Amino acid sequence: MLLQRFAKMVTVWLLLASLFPAVAAEKTSAASKPGVQIIPLTNRYRVEINGQLFTEYFFKDVPKPYCYPILGPGGVAMTRKWPLEEGKDEEHDHPHHQGLWFGHQIVNGNNFWTISPGTGKIVQESLVSAISGEKAGSITTQNKWVAKDGAVVLRDERTLRFYNRPDGRFMDYDVTLKATEGEVTFGDDKDGMMAIRVAETMRVLKFAAKGEKAKAGDGHIVLSTGVRDSGETAVAAKEAKKEAVTWGKQAAWCDYYGPVDGKTVGVAIFDHPGNPRHPTWWHVRDYGLFAANPFGKHYFENLPDKSAGNLVVPAGQSVTFRYRIYFHEGDEKQAKVAELYAEYSKATSNAANRGLEKRASEVRLQPIQKSKTDSEAPQ
């Protein structure tokens, strides 16, 4: 009996051992596929470009969807790790700064920016499509914005598009905000909307404990208008008790670059020329927060009217915002940020000539259109 049991155990062990190489080979095979691969997992979608991890889009059991990690040129981490992981020598501030995300502080009086028991949540309702491809891949989802009392405030449809290009890592983040439950007001507030928290070593100001003097970091912030911040300008602003010169300014694009793992890398956000209130204002901070915000007008321009930046979407209407995010090597000149923005702008201008866009100064409202949902895909 003992010999028979031992023989069975050996047989099972050999069977399991024979399976592991097959599993490893399957993973290697999947990872080696060329182009952009969108891989559905239990609580997220994994995005690989030519077999290398670019990012993962988390959507399940989170306060709002986010992309983390984001691996830029050479595989370096472009975002702060905390609070999603423990990172070396990282400041533990603003726990709602999670990778790359989309949200706003005031939406019909509800908070969809910070994270606490009293704030709203953005919940994925369905997957419309997850498409892999040689040159590009995309994820399109439908989401509901849920207030703390459980009421749905609005819905959105968003598409994240990822590109396989030799000149850097590019992604588009397009969101159509739909007033499905009644009129929606996006309130004038500095905290919003298309945002990323850059890697800690890219900061323009280094972390300083309370009472310590400001210390220059190695990061830089550059606007399309030529306005720029460095450690020196940020220290001077801090000592004068003023904002850094790039904060709250309008520009077509903004670039934030600095050192990560011994190399200079950066991230640029392009404001789509067809976006409402283009060129947008930039809620870009010397400590690493980097956000495009079309709603914070009274904050950024120091206006007495606290509703100056409000944007109202009537019931049954929608408004669309589009952004391109470019992860690159070098500074903004080495990365040809201005030239690549011109390329992006030209493509959208061609669309405008075909009547697909409105003038940039207009708020582009559209009747809500239904999307066909892929009900068989993972939710």
Q: So what's the pLDDT on residue 349?
A: 56
pLDDT at 166: 93
Q: What is the CATH number of the domain that holds 210?
A: 2.70.98
Residue 363: its pLDDT value, please?
Answer: 63
366 found inside a domain? no
Q: What is the pLDDT of residue 370?
A: 62
Mean pLDDT rounded to a whole number for the chain: 87
Q: What confidence tens digit (pLDDT) does each residue in 41-66 have?
A: 999 999 999 999 999 999 999 999 99
Q: What are the pLDDT digits (tens) for 68-98?
A: 999 999 999 999 899 988 888 768 777 888 9
Supply the pLDDT for residue 372: 47
pLDDT, greater one: 161 or 368: 161
State yes or no: pLDDT of 7 exceeds 70: no
Residue 16 has pLDDT above 80, yes or no: no
In this predicted structure, what is the pLDDT of residue 32? 62
* 18, part of any domain: no
**Given the structure tokens 């904002």, which residue do they identify?**
243
When pLDDT is averaged across residues 325-351 and rounded to a whole number, the result is: 90
* 375 occurs within a structural domain: no
What is the band of 149 on the pLDDT scale with cuts at 50, 70, 90? Answer: very high
Enclosing domain of residue 202: 38-358
For residue 64, is it within any domain?
A: yes
Q: pLDDT value at position 264?
A: 98
Lowest mean pLDDT segment, chosen from 21-30, 101-110, 159-168, 293-302: 21-30
For residues 124-140, average pLDDT: 97
Percent of the chain with pLDDT over 70: 84
Considering the domain boundaries, does residue 364 fall inside one?
A: no
Q: Is residue 269 part of a domain?
A: yes
pLDDT digits (tens, 9 = 90+) for 340-374: 999 999 876 554 433 333 333 346 677 777 654 43
Residue 168 maps to a domain:
yes
Residue 86 in any domain: the answer is: yes
> pLDDT digits over 180-231, tens only?
999 999 999 999 999 999 999 999 999 888 888 999 999 999 999 999 999 9
pLDDT of residue 88: 82
Q: Does residue 10 carry a pLDDT above 60?
A: no
| Domain count for the chain | 1
3-state helix/strand/coil string of the chain: CHHHHHHHHHHHHHHHHHHHHHHHHHHHHHHCCCCEEEEECCCEEEEEECCEEEEEEECCCCCCCEEEEEECHHHCECECCCCCCCCCCCCCCCCCCCCEEEEEEEECCEEECCCCCCCCEEEEEEEEEEECECCEEEEEEEEEEECCCCCEEEEEEEEEEEEEECCEEEEEEEEEEECCCCCEEECCCCCEEEEEEECHHHCCEECCCCCCCCEECCCEEEECCCCEECHHHHHHHHHCCCCCCCCCCECCEEEEEEEECCEEEEEEEEECCCCCCCCCEEEECCCCEEEEECCCHHHHCCCCCCCCCCEEECCCEEEEEEEEEEEEECCCCCCCHHHHHHHHHHHHHHHHHCCCCCCCCCCCEEECCCCCCCCCCCC
More confident residue, 20 or 284: 284
For residue 19, pLDDT over 50 is answered with no
pLDDT in the model for residue 211: 83
Is 6's pLDDT higher than 70? no
Chain centroid to CA 289: how far?
11
